[in-house]
Structure 1
Amino acid sequence: MKHILLVIGLVWGLGIGARGQAGRADMVLLNGKIFTSDAARPSAEALAIRGERIIAVGTVAEINKLAGPNTRRIDLQGRVVTPGFNDAHNHFDPMPAGFRLAFTSMEPSWEETSQAIKAAAQQVPAGTWIFGTVGSKVVLDPLVTRAALDALAPNHPVLLGAFYGHGKIANTKALPLLQLDIEQPDPLGGKYERITGSRELNGRMHEYAEWRANFVLAAQVPDTAVIRALRAMAAEAAGYGITTMQLFTILPTDRFVRLLTQANLPVRVHARPFPLTTPQGRETTELRKLLTPPMPKLGPRVQVSGIKWVLDGTPYERGAALRTAYRDQPNWKGELNFKEDEVGKMVQEGLDWKQPLLFHCAGDRASEVVFNALEANETNVNWPARRVRIEHGDGVVGDLIPRAKRLGVVVVQNPTHFTEPALFGQRWGNKMQPLRSLLAAGIPVALGSDGPMNPFLNIMLAGINPANPAEAITGQQAVQAYTAGSAYAEFAEKDKGTLAVGKLADLAVLSQDIFSVPPPELPKTTSVLTIVGGKVVHDAKVLK
């Protein structure tokens, strides 16, 4: 009885505030339009923070009662507040020093590209890397080979890569620097194109072959440069009100986690391992060691979990695996990077290691293969509790939607992929890239950038979906997907994603009302105040 009375006394001693725990707050935010992403209380005027967490959400009068003489008071001046944005899918792939070609568009022609390479070769010392980011016009041109690049820059290593991450072309000088033999065998899930009639590489590489090149390049970047790049990325994120980044990287996971910890970033990072392959199979030794307890010591805002596998390419290069032929290439359905039985092995590994599974699936055939593998284990596994992720999920359509719902799959979508309606319409029609139908079916949806980090650009694109306008969603739904949805996708919904009592105080005060401005104005939005765990990590100095 003594213990019970003591507990009751402690509770009464703390007191109960409006819709929250009591006691004096360290910080109160007052006079705002607070969008909580919490269905129980979608809006509020004010909230209170103590330590890392929110202790109350309510009216100005209610929250004022929790303020004491040492409480920091912030007048929001009617500004919109949202939970901190959680970028559910982004990449961090550092590159070594070199000369980077500049183009006026994402899709330079081969003529523009060749002129830029020739000019660079005349400007920079021999042996200097020349890097170029190009589009499908160059990457899909079969005449752009290492021989063509050699003719332009015989004394410089040259590497061209698609801005959408699927397709690279290297010249002869680049091959040894990428640790490639002239007759390098293909890795599992990847391909080196060959000179006709021989085994010699022609410089063109795809999927896991090209990502091996990224891995070799990233290894050449010093730790100090990696940390500098991480801090710059985190500062940009905080300026947009992004408080969590879920990052894939080509760096070895142990090195990435070590450098994240050393960088001590102002925002949270959930590192998502992205293992590679060899001609002998998938490389999982490092992951098995890393993901088996005891886990390495991490920084206060660093987490690592999950295993990502890329099952197909994209519509740009007709690499997305489809169940029907491409409209502009009737004899071609794309192809899977791995056979179905290999996908089954991936699923079993995730179960054995108790790790979340994240599958890149652009085409409907790729998603179908994942669902087949899950259903093969359905009698023994509660798949909804595992939250298998389909990254991109452009092909989760039609009959795959009820299967995704039943399996509890989470779809992580990237609205910047919706910006090619003409090209993608030629490739696979206008029935792909769903959003609204997924939400209507009750499928968890998260949003990530996988490109420009600006969440407000992605919210705009989710709200118009130029590739499939019937699948557009509301601004509120987009923000929920970018906050609560992304938290759910990383098993973090108990701590973040909504502005509610007991949740981490991760939030953003926005420069304009994103729920009322015209869609073209949305990308101009920034955060004027970003808070992570109750601490201000970005302040534009417009609030008192």
Structure 2
Amino acid sequence: MIPEAADLVLTNAAVLTMDRDRPVATSVAVRAGTVLAVGEDADTRGFVGPRTRVLDAGGRFAMPGFHDSHNHLMTTGLGLLRPGLNEARSVADVLAVITRVAATTAPGEWIETAPGWHENQLAERRFPSAAELDAAAPAHPVVIRRGGHNMVLNSEALRRAGITADATSPAGGTFVRDARGRLTGHLAGKAALAPVLAVVPPVTREQWTAAVAAAAEAYAAAGITAVIDPGLTTEQMAVYRSLAAEDRLTVRTSMMWLPPIAGLDATGALDAVRSGGFEPDLRSPWCRTLGIKLIADGGVETGYYRDHYAEPDDPAHPWGKPLLTPDVLEAVCTSAAAQGWHVGVHVLGDAATDLVLDAFRAAAAVAALPRWTLIHLLNPRAEHWPVIDDLGLSVTAQPGLFWQLAGGFTHYLGAGRARDIGPLAELVRHLPGRVGGGSDSPVAPFAPLAGIATAATRNTRDSGCLGAEWAVDVATMLELYTTGSAWCAGQENVSGTLAPGRFGDFVVLSADPRSVAPADVGEIEVLATAVGGRVVHDRLS
């Protein structure tokens, strides 16, 4: 009789456990979602019962599942269900997609595209104009999304959003104009998107549920077993909780709430945070309420810098724009610290980092900061590191952003500054064990192996290799995508390593990423993915 039969046994594998006590093995046994045993095949053979699934890796490489520390899973999934532009290579290709969708969409209904693409992939290296979109879909309002901080609208969408020819750009955003002062249809920065988001049809609960399912399938094929999904609304968080209660999640998710405080003063921001009903809840292994997310500045075009942009979209604000004022940042961070909440702040530019660290220092005077996070930190300066270290902060880094957006950074900041964007080697050197790997999907591709290749080479989508001295070796990147992300999520005791009592989450790959040329890591195939001992992707059997 087998006293403790496993649900799943991985055997005949070259396992990198990420556990310092036993770094390599050939077999892993999982029962009731957690690891029973790790060792040689003979060590786990006794856990194989009549109902145990045995997964023979055929000698291939295995490791803990990839943990993406900054991944908009829900938004990525929604994009998978919408018309995509990632294959477009010219403005004409973009317009052809819009024309095709318009032909099957009732007149007057909105057309919205997926956000996972970039204008620099086009031969013209620009967005389509409102006028071009008008010609492609004259009977529809059109919203082309790009990442989380940009949209391009046609004239009908601009009209419905109330953005008129004489509209003034809001604080924290830009209604981009051409050389003659006319609206181009390009909206940059979260504040500029707000009028559009107020009038587009809201995403339904059923659509969000379908989005999670679509993303989960794609993530399983990429080896992703856990994410931190930041910037969620209360409605999105409710969908996650419902799916967890129904045992329908296959990606472990740590949720971060985005309180609706943009444009508010300190008093209004505190009222909005208090009225949101936010409470941390870390009990579930599948759906945790981790903390709150704040956004200090924008993206490529709307970061907040000490030095002015080489090509600003808004000449009146050549340094970019902070999205939150210093008093709002300090008030919300201080309140969160007093309540013991985890806080992560989106920060790109060095001037925005100055503001955030000032707010964090004020909060630390009230209470210890429970592993607060700087999200992105693309432009750290020497004087930032002592503060970051003193406060015990973590950083979630996304090498895929550099691959996807390097052309944009080169255009807006100049080649000299662009090469130093996201100096991952510097982050790792200053914060060993406290940097999480991630993607920022759908802004950048979610595949962890592609992100690792970018980090190890500093190769970009359209600008060659930039800043090679900031590259990080593949072995270190495997740590960032496992133990580093687990640390950022506060899960280092249950996730990121394969050891008894830890989550039974692992991937089997066609090759050991450390054994191939760094540029080829992205070509490695994910052959199997298991989450909690449940095989959710299988190309081995």
Q: TM-score range by the shorter chain?
A: 0.7 to 0.9
Q: Which AA in structure 2 matches 1:264?
A: R
CA distance, structure 1, for counterparts of residue 102 and residue 7 of structure 2: 58
| 1:323-402 matches, cutoff 5 A | 323-327=306-310, 332-383=318-369, 386-402=370-386
Q: How do 1:37-48 and structure 2 match up within 5 A?
A: 37-48=18-29
- Check 1:184–1:497 CA distance in 2 against 1; reply closer, same or farther (3 A cut): farther
SS of the residue corresponding to residue 401 of structure 2 reads: helix
Summarize the Cα distance change of 1:458–1:196 in structure 2 as closer, same or farther, 3 Å threshold: closer
1:409 maps to 2:378: no
Task: Classify the secondary structure of the residue corresponding to 1:320.
Answer: coil
Given candidates 226, 230, 235, the residue that maps to 1:248 is: 230
Match of 1:445 among 435, 458, 462: 435
The amino acid of 2:446's aligned partner reads M
Q: Distance in 1 between matches of 2:254 and 2:217?
A: 16
- Number of equivalent positions: 512
List runs of 5+ in structure 2 lacking aligned partners.
460-465
Offset of residue 478 of structure 1: 0.7
Q: Is the alpha carbon distance of 1:298 and 1:190 closer, same or farther for their aligned partners in structure 2, counting shifts above 3 Å?
A: farther
Residues in 2 aligned to 1:88 and 1:507: alpha-carbon distance in whole angstroms: 17
Task: Determine the C-alpha separation between the residues in 1 that align with 2:87 and 2:10.
Answer: 43
The root-mean-square deviation of aligned C-alpha atoms, in Å, is 4.0
- Partner SS state of residue 306, structure 1: strand
Q: Say whether residues 1:169 and 2:169 are aligned partners.
A: no
Tell me the secondary structure at the aligned position of residue 37 of structure 2: strand
- Counterparts of residues 28-427 of structure 1 (less than 5 Å): 28-67=9-48, 71-91=52-72, 92-93=74-75, 100=83, 102=85, 104-105=87-88, 108-109=90-91, 125-132=106-113, 135=118, 149-150=133-134, 153-162=137-146, 164-175=147-158, 178=161, 189-192=172-175, 204-212=186-194, 215-216=197-198, 220-248=202-230, 251=233, 252-258=235-241, 260-261=243-244, 264-277=248-261, 279-281=263-265, 288=274, 291-293=277-279, 301-315=286-300, 317=301, 319-327=302-310, 332-383=318-369, 386-419=370-403, 420-421=405-406, 423-425=408-410, 426=414
| Mapping 1:488-499, distance limit 5 Å | 488-499=487-498
Which shifted more, 62-71 or 438-447?
62-71
Write out per-residue CA displacement over residues 382-402 of structure 1, whole angstroms, 9 at most, x where no aligned residue: 33xx21211111112433233
TM-score (norm 1): 0.80
Instruction: Kindly indicate whether the alpha-carbon contact (under 8 Å) linking 1:312 and 1:362 is maintained by their aligned counterparts in 2.
Output: yes
> Is residue 413–residue 445 contact of structure 1 (8 Å, CA) maintained in 2?
yes
Task: Kindly indicate whether the alpha-carbon contact (under 8 Å) linking 1:512 and 1:525 is maintained by their aligned counterparts in 2.
Answer: yes
Given the superposition, is the C-alpha separation of residues 57 and 270 from structure 1 closer, same or farther in structure 2, using an over 3 Å criterion? same
1:491 counterpart SS class: coil
Check whether the contact 1:321–1:333 (CA below 8 A) recurs between aligned residues: yes
The Cα of 1:264 is off from its aligned counterpart by: 1.3
Question: 2:494, 2:502 within 8 Å by CA — same for their partners in 1?
Answer: yes
Q: Report deviation, 1:447.
A: 1.2
Equivalent residue in structure 2 for 1:458, among 432, 451, 459: 451
Further displaced range: 304-313 or 219-228: 219-228
Q: Distance in 2 between matches of 1:84 and 1:365?
A: 36
**CA pair 172-95 structure 1, distance change in 2 beyond 3 A:** farther
Contact 2:9 2:52 in 1 (8 A): yes
Give the 3-state SS of the residue equivalent to 1:34 in structure 2: strand
Which amino acid letter does the alignment assign opposite residue 324 of structure 1? D
**Structure 1 pair 397/51, CA: closer, same or farther in 2 (3 Å)?**
same
Cα separation, 2, equivalents of 1:299 and 1:176: 45
User: Is the alpha carbon distance of 1:247 and 1:176 closer, same or farther for their aligned partners in structure 2, counting shifts above 3 Å?
Assistant: farther
- Higher mean alpha-carbon deviation, 75-84 vs 266-275, is at 266-275
Q: Measured at CA, do residues 177 and 354 of structure 1 come closer, stay the same or move farther in structure 2, by a change above 3 Å?
A: farther
The counterpart of 1:434, out of the listed 395, 406, 423, is: 423
Question: Shift of residue 182 of structure 1?
Answer: 8.9
Q: Cα–Cα, structure 1 residues 220 and 337, in superposed 2: closer, same or farther, change >3 Å?
A: closer
Contact kept, 8 Å, 1:37 with 1:83, in 2: the verdict is yes
Judging changes above 3 Å, is the alpha-carbon distance between structure 1 residues 148 and 259 closer, same or farther for their aligned structure 2 residues? farther
Which amino acid in structure 2 is aligned with residue 235 of structure 1? E
Instruction: State how far apart, in whole Å, the 1-side matches of 2:420 and 2:169 are.
Output: 34
SS at match of 2:491: coil
Secondary structure of 2:513 counterpart: coil
Identity percentage over the alignment?
27
2: distance between equivalents of 1:500 and 1:96?
Answer: 36
8 Å Cα contact 1:53/1:503 also seen in 2: yes
- 1:487 positional shift: 1.1
Q: Which SS does the other structure have where 2:450 is aligned?
A: helix
**Secondary structure at the counterpart of residue 508 of structure 1:** strand
Partner of 2:515, secondary structure, is coil
Q: Larger Cα Rg: Structure 1 or Structure 2?
A: 1
Residues 300 and 412 (structure 1), Cα distance of their counterparts in 2 relative to 1, 3 Å cut: closer
Structure 2 residue matching 1:359: 3-state secondary structure: strand
Cα gap change, 1:481/1:277 in structure 2, threshold over 3 Å: closer, same or farther? same
Residue identity opposite 2:388 in structure 1: A
Are the equivalent residues in 2 in contact too, given 1:188–1:280 (CA < 8 A)?
A: no
Question: What is the alpha-carbon distance in structure 2 between the residues aligned to residue 244 and residue 173 of structure 1?
Answer: 40
**AA in 2 matched with 1:418:** F
Corresponding residue SS for 1:515: helix
- Describe the superposition over 1:198-237 as per-residue Cα deviations: whole angstroms up to 9, x where unpaired: 9x98854332334535754776333323212211110111
Deviations 1:397-417 (A, max 9, x none): 433233322221111111112
Deviates more, 1:524-533 or 1:184-193: 184-193
Offset at 1:123?
A: 7.2
